[in-house]
Structure 1
Amino acid sequence: MPAKVTLQRLAEMKAAREPIVMVTAYDYPTARTAEQAGVDMVLVGDSGAQVVLGHDSTVAVTVDEMLVLSGAVRRGVRTAFLVCDLPFGSTEVSDEQAVATAVRFVKEAGADAVKLEGGGEARLSRIRAIAEAGIPVVAHVGLTPQTAVALGGLRAQGRTAESAARLVREALAVQDAGASVLVIEAVPADVAAVVLPALDIPVIGIGAGSADGQVLVIHDLLGITEGRTAAFVKRYATIGADMVTGVAAYASEVRGGVFPGAEHGYAATDEAVEAARAELEQLRAR
């Protein structure tokens, strides 16, 4: 079995310029898929609110729901570094609330690290408090879906002078606050490239050009997600279409009397059949 991926290993990969591979997972089967594929990091993202639970945005998912998803993924992951998103509303009140939530993900779900979005003053305080409690933090700047409304919607960041300057400022600030890893989402590659050399921690990109690693939602890359996906998504399979084809074929065979066939059942002895008949006759005679 490969060695467990740790923060030290991620730092070594960054130093050696060895690309870090990260995907999301939200249940045991997808966790096993990620593990068997040999990815380095698995994120239980609050994007599970949309791709697994059917909500319109990430803000609807609760701590308890995220803990259920995270626990299932933990049982499927052995070597990959497991990161769990702290959902909206679970860290905003105070540093104490944030630490308490982070502790739950470590104790109840086995998280190796927790992820927080944003790089404003309040978020820096939360990152600092959680890190000081001994829990590794993955920071997230650029497009932050939990607060997308304040950013004008789910749109790329760093495309104006003000936004680009804020990205640089927040990226350096979360590192200084104690974040161990940084995710940069939906930022022009040229803008992200400005700040990358100034960061000592591993940087994972998603729609932000080349970084120390990349992350994609597993449902997106496997072609399970319905409808339009973000510009930064590349599909590597068509599992969603294959699933529909498979279920439709099953439904057709059931309706046509083809399935189940004799080969899909179990053999019984004549004695067992006769005993069943005798029992039925006896019950009917009462």
Structure 2
Amino acid sequence: MHKSVKDILDKKKNGQKISVITAYDYTLASLCDKAGIDIMLVGDSAGMVMLGYENTIPVTMEQMILFTEAVSRARQNSLVVADMPFMSYQASTSDAIANSGRLIKAGADSVKLEGGKIVAPTIQAIVETGIPVMGHIGFQPQTTTLAQGYRVQAKTKDAALTLIEDAKALEKAGAFSIALEMVTSEVSKIISESISIPTIGIGSGKFCDGQVLVVHDLLGMYDKLKPKFVKQYLSLSDQITKAVSTYKSDIESGKFPAKENWFTMDKTELDKLMSEVD
């Protein structure tokens, strides 16, 4: 039986940190699940990491459904949360509910929406249908990038107060957790202590109730962006490039395939074949 929303809420109540990883495909999600990760987030960052987009804006519902299906098939233990892509929930509440339902049918246990007070009514409507929601405030890739570019959030008193109000509004709307992206550590601490639901930090310091990184970032597989908050546990991009280069050389030199890499016929059958061929 995989983890539930209640299990995640209980971790905060018990003072236990929550591990979250962003994954997009069956193979890596299987390994993350095997490692005991609490939540696997199917992020719309898949558009950049897996599809080569410049940002998350072009990602479609159909693409998110495909990634969500892959990750949900991989998990045995983790809770699966799927991102609602840009414009899948902003136009109307009915759109938001319908698209949330599509991700749940694809295998997600919950959906994630970006935005503060402005999306609170939408979150409440989705929660009322029985679908758990994770909020997302601070830096919001779907919209903040368009207006400001990558920028740390809550650096001033007024900005901090707005963010604290946003967090409380999302809790009141029924969100079971909130992602805090690129928020100053001081404000992340205040928010985490001010609400009863877990906060998940993305470059927001150690005082959040949990932390999330993209699996490709922590494995050193995605070099296009290298945010300050990423801790790289391996450097696989160099190793993978080297391995593929060695493979290419082995083909060109005749080293691969070797005898142990191919199949042979029974000698009797081969003799019969050759007599016919000759």
TM-score class normalised by the smaller sequence: over 0.9
Identity of aligned residues (%): 37
Q: Which amino acid aligns with 1:213?
A: G
TM-score after normalising by structure 2: 0.96
Q: Does 1:212 align with 2:212?
A: no
1:99-138 Cα deviation digits (max 9, x unpaired): 000001111x1111000001142x1121011001100000
Q: CA deviation at 1:238?
A: 1.2
User: Contact between 2:192 and 2:198, CA under 8 Å: does it hold in 1?
Assistant: no
Q: CA deviation at 1:76?
A: 0.3
Q: Does 1:249 align with 2:246?
A: yes
Query: For residues 17 and 272 of structure 1, do their structure 2 counterparts lie closer, same or farther at Cα, with a shift above 3 Å needed?
Result: same
Q: Does 1:221 align with 2:201?
A: no
Query: For residues 265 and 226 of structure 1, do their structure 2 counterparts lie closer, same or farther at Cα, with a shift above 3 Å needed?
Result: same
Q: What is the count of residue pairs matched by the alignment?
A: 277
| Deviates most, 44-53 or 164-173 | 164-173
Aligned-partner Cα distance in 1 for 2:270–2:223:
49
Q: Which amino acid aligns with 2:214?
A: V
Q: Does 1:112 align with 2:109?
A: yes
CA RMSD of aligned residues (A): 1.4
Q: Does 1:238 align with 2:231?
A: no
Give the 5 Å matches for 1:1-286: 3-107=1-105, 109-121=106-118, 123-210=119-206, 211-277=208-274, 280=277
Q: CA deviation at 1:80?
A: 0.3
TM-score after normalising by structure 1: 0.93
What are structure 2's unaligned runs of at least 5 residues?
none
Q: CA deviation at 1:280?
A: 4.8
Q: Which amino acid aligns with 2:210?
A: G
Q: CA deviation at 1:165?
A: 1.8
DSSP 3-state at the match of 1:70: helix
Query: For residues 258 and 161 of structure 1, do their structure 2 counterparts lie closer, same or farther at Cα, with a shift above 3 Å needed?
Result: same
User: Contact between 2:121 and 2:173, CA under 8 Å: does it hold in 1?
Assistant: yes
Query: For residues 88 and 228 of structure 1, do their structure 2 counterparts lie closer, same or farther at Cα, with a shift above 3 Å needed?
Result: closer
Query: For residues 40 and 94 of structure 1, do their structure 2 counterparts lie closer, same or farther at Cα, with a shift above 3 Å needed?
Result: same
Query: For residues 275 and 67 of structure 1, do their structure 2 counterparts lie closer, same or farther at Cα, with a shift above 3 Å needed?
Result: farther
DSSP 3-state at the match of 2:113: strand
Query: For residues 126 and 260 of structure 1, do their structure 2 counterparts lie closer, same or farther at Cα, with a shift above 3 Å needed?
Result: same
